[in-house]
Chains A and B, each alone.
Chain A
Amino acid sequence: MPLGIQHLLGLHGVSENDIQLILDTADNFYEVLQREIKLVPTLRGKTVVNLFYENSTRTRLSFELAEKRLSASPLNFSASTSSVKKGETLKDTIRNIEAMKIDMVVVRHSSPGVPYFLTQCTDAIIINAGDGFHEHPTQALLDMMTIRRHFKKLAGLKVAIIGDVLHSRVARSNAWGMKTMGMDVTLCAPPTLMPQHTDSLGVTVTDNIFEAIEGADVIMLLRLQLERQTSGLFPSVREYRELYGVDLEKLVNVPDHTLIMHPGPINRGIELASNVADSERSVILDQVTNGVAVRMAALYLLGGGESGDEEHV
């Protein structure tokens, strides 16, 4: 069964079948990553542009690695070295890049909706690598892959996502995807860092961390941007750590099987204590490994073929 989506713009509205297919495929790519030669020729001749308007070394590296492992030709375009500063519009930029005959675009941008915008100005296949506070679908997929590899299932698991939900595309993508996969999602943040309107998200919302982590199979922390303090959204880092930071003390009553996740980079000692981040529970580095597999799966499933019948081999 082929993928029902043409681009990967977000997980909102993506079907359970599609998520399942991406995760299944990613599991098989995970095997490729264990080989001595971690390279398959599948995307040979395909050019993938990594269009990064926001700094994100790890997401870009993960995509670039995924592209290289599939034998695609990555082309890196980052805002700091580009014509952006000369004032070229996004539309002109993408049209210029498209004129170089490219096949796919992986885009990271601070403005929500940019990946959708790009689908309107180019024929290339678009993969969203994070747009504003909107979505970061491959992050949520790698999170779900990590959870599924660990628990061998997704449906019925309880996940607590804790931190700056208001400014988090990771929280949103995970909320959509996990809900679709039948998981029980609780979002936890101080009310100032929680969107005013969460009724449509279909998740449990709380400002009490103990409520959130009670019975949770997975505790996912979000990175706290320290500049949120200066804009008056929380009074002090100390108070934030006290109320929402996860340390061993807060985990006393949490069962042994509960996983700790973080999309990275971690503010050690703020949202997550070091001895928790480095504990047995932590699957933070698995998330990084799985990220490459999930991105290979997305590139593979979206990037093939023009048209015509499947050949007999």
Chain B
Amino acid sequence: MKKHELLMDSTALDRALTRITHQFLEKNPDLDNIGIVGMQTRGVFLARRITEKINAMEKTSFQTGVLDVTLYRDDYRTAFKQPKVQITDIPFNINKKELLLVDDVLYTGRTVRAALDALTDFGRPKSIQLAVLVDRGNREFPIRADFIGKKITTLKNQEVALHVNEIDKEDSLWLMQLEEEN
């Protein structure tokens, strides 16, 4: 796998998140009834930034929920090795909330499907809205995002990789190309 094309640099990435934040608040003006949940692993970082932006703009103190969907995946019986179970921590009651679910990449839709199952096990939110930084197409489930940072067309042998400051020492979004098989 090698870097193929820079999709967003840190400025573009931040602007996209700002735009998503504004769009979300515009659509959900009642600040008493919103909640933000990021999906493990990289969605969590994006969700935290959106939460910080809201808190800064609105002088609020929202916390970010963290959701791991490993236990809800549909490939447990076929996966060769078990994916690591990560922390789930939603520090607020999701009942009757307008929930913003945040992930980095929307692709087949299977992870989001698992996330919806998981979230409904935690309670009954009023709505669940999906924000993704990139929608790369190739859906396998009838799922769409409400807020999209960037929409691109990709091939099956490509992947989209989000780098975040917290782990990779820089914010950037890359289109990756699988190495040619000889």
Contact = CB atoms under 8 A, between A and B. Distances in A.
Interface stretch (A38-46, A47-55, A94-102): A38-46
Interface string A286-304: 0000000000010011001
A35 B83 CA distance: 21
Contacts of A43: 76
Given A40-B71, A41-B71, A25 B84 contact: yes
A32 B68 CA distance: 11
B75 A313 contact: yes
Interface residues of A, number: 33
Contact of B83 (A24, A70, A310): A310
Nearest to B117: A41
Chain A facing B: main interface SS: loop
Nearest to A43: B76
B178 to A, nearest CB: 11
A274 to B, nearest CB: 37
Given A310-B79, A310-B80, A28 B87 contact: yes
Contact of A40 (B72, B80, B108, B159): B72
A87 interface: no
A40 B73 CA distance: 10
B121 A35 contact: yes
A35 B94 CA distance: 12
A304 B117 contact: no
Contact of B82 (A28, A29, A40, A300): A300
A31 interface: yes
A304 to B, nearest CB: 5
Interface of A: 2-3, 21, 24-25, 28-29, 31-32, 35-37, 39-43, 45-46, 70, 297, 300-301, 304-313
A222 B111 CA distance: 46
Given A24-B84, A35-B121, 8 more contacts: A2-B82, A28-B68, A31-B88, A42-B70, A297-B85, A304-B77, A304-B81, A310-B83
Chain B facing A: main interface SS: loop
A51 to B, nearest CB: 23
A313 B82 contact: no
B76 to A, nearest CB: 5
A308 B123 contact: no
A25 B85 contact: yes
A238 to B, nearest CB: 49
A304 B79 contact: yes
A308 B85 contact: no
B76 A305 contact: yes
B82 A305 contact: yes
A5 to B, nearest CB: 13
A108 B35 CA distance: 46
Contacts of A301: 82
Nearest to B76: A304
Interface in B15-50: none
8 contacts: A29-B85, A31-B88, A42-B70, A300-B82, A301-B82, A305-B76, A310-B75, A311-B78
B89 interface: yes
Contacts of A36: 122-123
B107 interface: yes
Contacts of B108: 312-313
B182 to A, nearest CB: 19
B141 to A, nearest CB: 11
Given A31-B88, A313-B108, A308 B78 contact: yes
A37 B86 CA distance: 18
Contacts of A32: 71, 88
A300 B110 contact: no
B54 to A, nearest CB: 25
A-B complex: 3 closest residue pairs judged by Cβ atoms: A2-B81, A40-B71, A28-B85
Contacts of B80: 2, 305, 307-310
Given A28-B85, A42-B72, A311 B79 contact: yes
A70 B82 CA distance: 14
A185 B58 CA distance: 55
B81 A305 contact: yes
A307 B80 CA distance: 5
A37 B95 CA distance: 13
A301 B78 CA distance: 13
A310 B88 CA distance: 22
Contacts of B70: 42
